[in-house]
Amino acid sequence: MLKYIVLALIGFGIYIGVTYQDQFSDLTNSRSFEDVRDVYEDVKDQAMDDFSAISDKVEDLQN
């Protein structure tokens, strides 16, 4: 019986987490951190692309 109560509470917690995810994010202001992380990843990807392009040009010049 205790197992069923625990499973019901876990299921209810997951339901609340999925249903009110946006409100929790707004409450904890975690959206701004997600935005910063997205910008960081975009800048990192751009830097890697630029580095690859420069490496290719240097390799072409050496040949």
pLDDT digits (tens, 9 = 90+) for 9-63: 999 999 998 888 888 777 777 667 778 888 999 999 999 999 988 888 888 888 7
Which residues constitute the domain of residue 33? 2-62
For residue 8, the model assigns a pLDDT of 94
* Structural domains of the chain, count: 1
Residue 17 neighbours by CB under 8 Å, 6+ apart: 24
Per-residue model confidence (pLDDT) at position 34: 78
Among candidate residues 2, 51, 15, 44, the one with its CA nearest the CA of residue 59: 51
Within the chain, where are the H helices?
Answer: 2-19, 21-28, 30-62
What's the confidence (pLDDT) of residue 24? 79
Query: Is 47 in contact with 53 (CB distance < 8 Å)?
Result: no
Q: What is the largest CA-CA distance in the chain?
A: 75
Predicted model pTM: 0.47
